[in-house]
Amino acid sequence: MAMRRGDIEVFLSENVYMGLILSSVEVYKKECFGLLLGYRTPQKYIVEHAVPYQSAKRGHKWIELRSDKWKVIQEVLNNFPKLDMIGDFHSHTMYRDVKADVSLSEDDIIHMQPDELQIVIAVNENRRSMPWTSNPDHTISGTINGFYFKVAAYYFPTEENNDGKRDPQSLCMARIVCPFVVG
């Protein structure tokens, strides 16, 4: 599915970038799954922390977090008023001989909350070294140590989910800004 490019920017700190990359390579070729903490302004998501879920069951195409664990995380975070749970991240890896890409699966979309940011890291093996760049589709990509990463961020525009409906057609890709790797 071709995604619309939205007006919203997602700012990734050095911490978040490192968190996303290390979480994805740690469990490769399985998928990683984690929480995004930060805050949101009308035009931007500022992501301050990417925290991997340690209790999430990892599979190739599925993932789940038990809701009691989710509740505990939420309760602890209530003590830190400057940080909100602004979304999730997960990785996509090669499946059989199909290369991983950043497009959301139907399952990814079903589990996405209307106000949530969803970051996807596609990880493939690539011996050729490529510098990190921002791409026209709002993603960033590059290689590290034989892995090729592509990072995308998705959200539902607020004006279109007032009634809580999530029309996959309205999903947008936010423009990723990560000064640590792409100056």
Interface ranges with Zn ion (CB under 5 A): 105, 108
Q: How far is the CB of 102 from Zn ion (least distance, A)?
A: 9
Are 16 and 49 a contacting pair, CB within 8 Å? yes
**Residue nearest Zn ion, Cβ-based:** 108
Are 36 and 85 a contacting pair, CB within 8 Å? yes
Gap between the Cα atoms of 9 and 89, Å rounded: 16
What's the CA angle centered on 178, arms 175 and 183, to 5 degrees?
Answer: 110
In the chain, the DSSP E strands lie at 4-12, 33-40, 44-52, 57-58, 63-64, 84-93, 117-125, 133-134, 140-144, 147-155, 172-177
User: Based on CB atoms, which residue is closest to Zn ion, 76 or 98?
Assistant: 98
Q: How far is the CB of 156 from Zn ion (least distance, A)?
A: 16
Q: How far is the CB of 131 from Zn ion (least distance, A)?
A: 26
User: Based on CB atoms, which residue is closest to Zn ion, 108 or 156?
Assistant: 108
User: Based on CB atoms, which residue is closest to Zn ion, 41 or 105?
Assistant: 105
User: Based on CB atoms, which residue is closest to Zn ion, 59 or 179?
Assistant: 59
Q: How far is the CB of 26 from Zn ion (least distance, A)?
A: 17
Gap between the Cα atoms of 80 and 30, Å rounded: 31
Gap between the Cα atoms of 152 and 111, Å rounded: 17
Q: How far is the CB of 63 from Zn ion (least distance, A)?
A: 8
User: Based on CB atoms, which residue is closest to Zn ion, 15 or 105?
Assistant: 105
